[in-house]
Chains A and B, each alone.
Chain A
Amino acid sequence: MALATNGLGIPMKSRSLPTIISIIIGVIYHIFLTYYFPNMAFILFSLVSYLAVIVILNYSKAKAIEKYLASLNNINDSLTNLISRDYEKLNKLQTLRETFNSKINKKIIQLSEIWQEESLRGLKERKNLQGLISDVSHQVKTPMTNLKMLQVTLENERISKEEKEQILKSMTGQIEKIDFLLESMIKSSRLEIGLVQLNKTSYFLFDTIAEAISSITVKASKKNIEIFVDCLENYQLAHDKKWTTESLFNILENAVKYSPENTKIEIKVQSWEIYTKIDIIDQGIGISEELFGKIFQRFFRGDNNYIEEGVGIGLYLSREIIERQGGYIKVASSVGEGSTFSIFLPNEL
């Protein structure tokens, strides 16, 4: 089979029709010539040369076909390797020549990389989820232990009424903490797993900012922190209203949390060429430069904020929300002077 068709259905040995026709024409031509040129030696020489040329042409054609078939066979082998996911063999393919084969090899390797990538991505997602679950259990453990201890104390009959009230109050605090934790976890996990689809629609950005501020005013006014907004009321921007509010709220909440009393927070909106920039400027304790990248990580908490309660999920969520909308977040800050969080959202859909 290998000889007859080379496995590809192309006959290798059989004479093709044009070759046979050209031989017949050549012979007829030479028979015809003998009538006019009686020199037999010359005619014979001409006939032999003619046949030789045909043989040579035929041979080189066969060679060329063989070369192309070898090429195709290579591709076929590579595809077999690709199907059996033999990445080691694939990576050894020659890709650095100016040849057609080399170009195809490069593409085959790319394809294998894409496949590997996809299977890796699945693994990563699973790992992410595992991380989230272990984070959740870790974070919930402390308040749970506290609750158990308080409950045991409560079962003691000899405690006074005041003590009892005190304990119940602590228990409420712990339950609230668990509630808050779970709420944040659910939000972040839903975002992470991709259950939440962000819907970007054109809204007045001012309204979104106002909504975020309205949920923080109580906390802000307790510390006598004033919030100023510099944004055109009729400025429209495509964004997901609900989740962007959440993102803004988280940053504002942090700003209020880490600002001393009687300070102010400014929100400034600027329209740039490609992005709209929303600055949230506070006069709080600030963040040192080496923490700029870390504050957006899940469950990151600064060293000096043990006084303030929180779990370190707010900024992580904020960034996730903004990045899901094709934007990005930056922070600029100097310790003791305040921080500026800048949100960038794309102007177009």
Chain B
Amino acid sequence: MSILEAIDLKKYYGEESSLVKALDGVSLKVEKGEFLSIIGTSGSGKSTLLNMLGGLDTPTSGKVIVAQNDISTLSDEELTIFRRRNVGFVFQNYNLVPMLNLYENIVLPLELDGETIDKDYIEEIIELLHLGEKKRRLPNYLSGGEQQRGAIARALATKPSIILADEPTGNLDSKTSSEVLGLLKKTGELFNQTIVIITHNNEIAQLADRIIRIEDGKIFNR
């Protein structure tokens, strides 16, 4: 059963002479529980693809189907709710709210949805990600690896079925990258989540079940 599907996705910018094809007919299927990594050089269109999979950007043509919903048919408001309830995002620059401490950041998506906080579950992910002693600190007092682990915890808080990570280790040294990815893989397996990560680092891509290479807006088979 595929949970995430892209059908002939195209994204063009500009007109005729200055036409840029960021994505040029990308189709892919992601199975439930799969850990997929998409690799490619910068400018290859991989971030555009991820943004579309998560409903952050709309394609020029083509469809994105997430858990049997065609997300191109959703209104803006529906899309916002859809993202909040189904997808967890992890970004290269962590995107933690600087005024909130780590714990508050982690439970923020739950509070936005008016959910009661499942304290045991939150504690479990905090322990899994080795953030127990850091949870009362503000993001600025945390290392890059800790901030990214916090961002992963935040993405896990709503128990989404899909985690989308755009260069999650882009700002981290190779040692921390390896650790963060190892933890992401572990939590993904534990909570049976589908993970799609974008990276330009071959070594990190290795931890995935499947690797897709994207070049010039197209999937490059090897």
Q: Interface on A for B, CB 8 Å cutoff? A: 91, 95-98, 102-103, 106, 110, 113, 116-117, 120, 272-275, 289-290, 292-293, 326-328, 330-332, 344, 348
Contacts and interface: CB of A to CB of B under 8 A. Distances in A.
A273 B145 CA distance: 10
B81 A326 contact: no
Contact of A332 (B74, B186, B203): B203
Contact of A274 (B32, B68, B179, B210): B179
B185 A273 contact: no
B206 A331 contact: yes
A344 B81 contact: no
Please indicate which of the listed interface residues B77, B81, B113, B210 has the most CB atoms of chain A within 10 Å of its own CB. Answer: B81
Given A96-B74, A96-B81, A289-B202, A328 B192 contact: no
Contact of B68 (A91, A103, A275): A91
A97 B81 CA distance: 7
B207 A328 contact: yes
B145 A328 contact: no
B82 interface: yes
A219 B8 CA distance: 54
A96 B78 contact: yes
A258 B20 CA distance: 48
A187 B222 CA distance: 33
Interface of B: 1, 32, 68, 74, 77-78, 81-82, 85, 113-114, 130, 145, 159, 161, 175-176, 178-179, 182-183, 185-186, 192, 202-203, 206-208, 210-211, 222
Contacts of A120: 1
A292 B32 CA distance: 23
A274 B78 contact: no
A113 B130 contact: no
Contacts, number: 60
A182 to B, nearest CB: 29
Given A103-B113, A344-B182, 9 more contacts: A96-B81, A120-B1, A273-B130, A274-B130, A274-B182, A274-B183, A293-B211, A328-B182, A332-B203
A348 to B, nearest CB: 8
Contacts of B222: 290
Contacts of B179: 272-275, 344
24 contacts: A95-B81, A95-B82, A96-B82, A97-B78, A97-B81, A98-B81, A102-B81, A103-B113, A113-B161, A116-B1, A120-B1, A272-B175, A273-B179, A274-B130, A275-B178, A275-B182, A289-B202, A293-B211, A328-B182, A328-B185, A328-B207, A330-B206, A331-B206, A332-B203
Contacts of A106: 85
A315 B37 CA distance: 22
A339 B85 CA distance: 43
A293 B85 contact: no
Contact of A293 (B161, B182, B206): B206
Contact of B182 (A98, A102, A327): A327
Nearest to B161: A113
A116 B32 CA distance: 11
Contacts of A91: 68
Nearest to B79: A96
A348 B127 CA distance: 11
B121 to A, nearest CB: 14
5 closest residue pairs by CB, A with B: A96-B78, A96-B81, A274-B179, A328-B182, A292-B206
Contacts of B130: 273-274, 348
A326 B185 CA distance: 10
A67 to B, nearest CB: 19
A187 to B, nearest CB: 22
Contacts of A98: 77, 81
Contacts of B113: 103
B188 to A, nearest CB: 12
A52 B77 CA distance: 40
B185 to A, nearest CB: 6
B206 A117 contact: no
A332 B206 CA distance: 10
Contact of B192 (A103, A117, A274): A117
Contacts of A110: 159, 161
A326 B178 contact: no
A328 to B, nearest CB: 5
A23 B16 CA distance: 77
A328 B209 CA distance: 12
A235 to B, nearest CB: 18
B203 A330 contact: yes
A218 B159 CA distance: 51
Contacts of B77: 96, 98
Contacts of B208: 293
